[in-house]
Amino acid sequence: MLDPVSRVRRFNRAVTSAVGALDTSFLGRGRPLGAARVLNAIGHGRADVGEIRDYLGLDSGLMSRLLRGLEDEGLIQTAAHGDDARRRIASLTAAGKREFNAYEAISNRQAKDFLAHNSQREALLAAMDLIASALGRDGTTLVEMDPRSDEARYCLGEYYAELARRFRQGFDVKLSRDPDAKDMVRPRGSFIVAMSDGLPIGCVGLKGGGELAEIKRLWVAPAARGLGLGRRLMDAAETAARELGIAVLRLDTNSALAEAGQLYRRTGWTEIPRFNDDPYPDLFFEKRL
């Protein structure tokens, strides 16, 4: 009655009808779903016609007609791509933006209603994050970013908050050896953020330069753990280190972060003696590239 497969399928049935409800409310704006989806894709920043076609899985003929329809409605305009005149770039007109905002309002309202009707708000959100990360794993991309970007700062904030929760003595960034942002930007180092559908869900920093560099700030959102993202981030950081001509990597961590320690041991890192006087770490690793 309650085997795992039945539970997954029960979930599928529940969300299928919820998804259907959103589609129905989209129809309320008097436009077929196909056209509404194209308009929303453009509104969400997809400009390249071919990319939209792939994203929505449409035939090129159908896509072309939907674009023509939206143009006739005065909601979008298309222009040739600067580098390649075969390709077309679509964008919203002022009227298109208004219409797009109306669809956004429908989606936002639905999401808000769902939250408002449930007292277990935080638990629900955490569950949704977990499932979205698991479903969207193949769509998770690693992007090199400035550590001062919004996305990076969000990740770092979550990282520090988690350390504060997990270290018995708490955590205060000021007491730790906080790397200068410039050390984590090329050509000295690198900072990589994992993005899943527009949301930052993990990060890692590479603090250079010279032959010896340090891995810092490896963090994976709770909702995305167990999906191999930590390993992907570490691989990406190592690749960046190789590109920068770095021969030896070091890192420090704390034995309270058990998953991290396991990951390092399993991926070719060896424990070495303490190499700094930071008060928080109690475990030190090295890896030769």
Cis amide leading into 209 (omega within 30): yes
Which span sits near DNA by CB under 7 A: 86-94, 116-124, 241-249, 267-275?
Answer: 86-94
| Contacts (CB under 7 A) with DNA, residues 25-54 | 32-35, 48-50, 53
Query: By CB under 8 A, is residue 151 in contact with a second copy?
Result: yes
Q: Please report whether residue 67 would count as binding DNA according to CB under 7 A.
A: yes
Spell out, one character per residue from 24 to 63, where the chain touches a second copy: x when CB under 8 A holds, - when not: ----------------------------------------
Residue 85 interacts with DNA (CB under 7 A): yes or no: yes
Is residue 128 a contact residue for a second copy (CB under 8 A)? yes
What, of DNA, a second copy, none, does residue 119 touch, CB below 5 to 8 Å by kind?
a second copy
Examine residue 178 and tell whether it contacts a second copy (CB under 8 A).
Answer: no
**Binder of residue 87, out of a second copy, DNA, none (CB less than 5 to 8 A by kind):** DNA
Q: Phi, psi at residue 221, to the nearest 5°?
A: -55, 140
Residue with Cβ nearer a second copy (72 or 122):
122
Orientation angle between helical segments 49-56 and 60-72, nearest 10 degrees? 120
Q: Which stretch binds a second copy (CB under 8 A): 1-9, 140-148, 168-176, 245-253?
A: 1-9
Interface with DNA (CB under 7 A): 32-35, 48-50, 53, 58-65, 67-68, 78, 83-88
Interface with a second copy (CB under 8 A): 1-2, 4-19, 22, 107-108, 110-112, 114-115, 117-121, 123-132, 134-137, 150-151, 154, 196-200, 225-228
